[in-house]
Amino acid sequence: MGDDDSKKGLVSGLKSVLYGMAGHDMTRYALKTRGSMEHLFILITMGDLLGIPILPPYYSLRLLPYVVPQISTWKRRMLREKDLTDALA
């Protein structure tokens, strides 16, 4: 039983290492693209978030419910000090 568990652990560890080499970068790029899209959404709805009526409010108000859950992580990204070396990885 113990041997089986350690074998399973080894196989899953090797699988994860292989995924880390082959596909993890792709996932990170996908997440970064999503992050950029979120920035755009927040910008579109910024007026309504602040309660300032910027035309046309109808579409941005419809987007608002989708944007609200992202606000906390967006704030972290926006307020964090950025550096050129951020672009390296």
Partner 1 sequence: MCGVLLTFEDRFIGKEASVSSLYFLAFAVIAIILGYGWYARSISRSVILPDPKRATPATMYMDGVDFTPANRHVLFGYQFKSIAALGPIIGPIVAVQWGWLPAVLWVIFGTLFLGWVQDYSSIMLSVREDGQTFGALSFRLISPRARTILVMFIYFYLLLLMAAFGKIVGFDLMTNPAVPLGVLLVIAIGLLAGQMTYKWKLDILLTTLITVVLAFAGIWAGTLPAVKSFMESLGGGAQSPLFFGNVTWAQFMWSLVVLVICYLGAVLPIWRWAQPINYVAFWIVFLGIAAGTLGLLIWHPSIPASFPAFTNWSGNLTSAAAAAGVDKSFTSLGPLWPILFVTIACGAISGWHSLVSSSGTARQLENESDGLFVGAGAMFLEMFLAILSILTAVVGIGAVQGFGKYADLIGSGKAGGVFALGLAEMMHHVGIPVSFGVSFGAVFLTLMALTIMYLVVRFMRVASAEFLGDSIPFFRNASFGSIVALILSAFLIYTGFWARIWILFGGANQLMASMALLLASVWLMARGKNYLWAFIPAIFMFITTVAALLWTAFAVFRQVATTPNLAVNIMVGNIAAGIIAILLVLAALILVWDGMKALRKLKTGALAEAKA
Q: Which is nearer to partner 1, 3 or 81 (CB)?
A: 81
The answer to whether residue 86 forms part of the interface with partner 1 (CB under 8 A) is: yes
Query: In terms of C-beta density within 10 A (0-12 exposed, 13-18 middle, 19 or more buried), how is residue 45 classed?
Result: buried
Binder of partner 1 out of 7, 8, 11, 32 (CB under 8 A): 32
Question: Count residues contacting partner 1 (CB under 8 A)?
Answer: 34
- Measured CA to CA, the distance from residue 82 to residue 76 in angstroms comes to 11
CB of 54 to partner 1, least distance (A): 26
**Only segment of 43-51, 60-68, 75-83 that touches partner 1 (CB under 8 A):** 75-83
Do residues 71 and 41 touch, judged by C-beta distance below 8 A?
no
Please write down the HEC assignment for all residues of 38-62: HHHHHHHHHHHHHCCCCCCHHHHHH
Could you say which DSSP state residue 84 is in? G
> In this complex, which beta carbon is closest to partner 1, that of residue 32 or of residue 62?
32
Query: Where do contacts with partner 1 occur on this chain (CB under 8 A)?
Result: 12-14, 16-26, 28-29, 31-35, 73-74, 76-77, 80-81, 83-89
